[in-house]
Amino acid sequence: MDDKKKAAVYLLMLNRYRDLINERETKTITEIRSMVKPRQPYVEILLKRIIPEWPQIGAMEAIERLVGYLRSVETCEFALTFWMKPEEMDELRVADQANKSILFAAFLRSLGFEKVKVFVMKSGSYYVWFFLNNEEYLFLPKNNTLIKGEEIPKLFAEDSPRYAFSDLSYESFEE
């Protein structure tokens, strides 16, 4: 069978079993929060590869390198819920906004950042908020960019959060 036919059969299977996959990939709040925890073995491997000089280099340079790494991971939205491990994202160089956000938050937590939250927005977008040198930053995984300061409230006014989490906390914004 040629590759085109194989892809068509795989697509047929995915569409047929989409609900089952979504059900099996559903995670509790506790399980999702645990994905952000610091010191995960493969997250540590990636950090040593991306920023081997840490902690001798500055935090902002380290963050810029992490964002550069995430730019090498193509952002792709899947038609179903699908959680990826850091090693799967690294090997395939593809992930959705949710998985990229969780990985970036895990990077920051592993570097010692405590004020880190993954925001899940009403639109379905994901952002990672963090605090550095008395300034707020937001990582946007959809286009792998950082914004800071006054740009953050503007973005949140356009698209309000549903909930935010890290390994340390969970906060719901819905009534």
**Could you read off the pLDDT tens digit of each residue along the chain, which spans 175 residues?**
788 888 888 778 877 877 776 677 677 778 888 889 888 999 999 999 999 999 999 999 999 999 999 999 999 987 777 889 999 999 999 999 999 999 999 999 999 999 999 999 999 999 999 999 999 999 999 999 999 999 999 999 999 999 999 999 999 998 7
Residue 11 covered by a domain: no
Structural tokens at position 17 = 């079993």
Residue 23 covered by a domain: no
pLDDT value of residue 30 = 82
Q: Which residues partner with 165 through β-bridges?
A: 118, 170
Residue 128 covered by a domain: yes
pLDDT value of residue 8 = 85
Residue 135 covered by a domain: yes
Domain that holds residue 95: 29-172
pLDDT value of residue 25 = 63
Residue 14 covered by a domain: no
Cβ-based neighbour number of residue 104 at 10 Å: 25
Write the CATH number for 74: 3.10.620.30
Structural tokens at position 162 = 């549903």
Handedness of CA 65, 86, 133, 130 (dihedral sign): positive
Q: How many domains does the chain have?
A: 1
Q: Using CA atoms, how far apart are residues 22 and 82, in angstroms rounded to an integer?
A: 7
Residue 89 covered by a domain: yes
Residue 50 covered by a domain: yes
Residue 13 covered by a domain: no
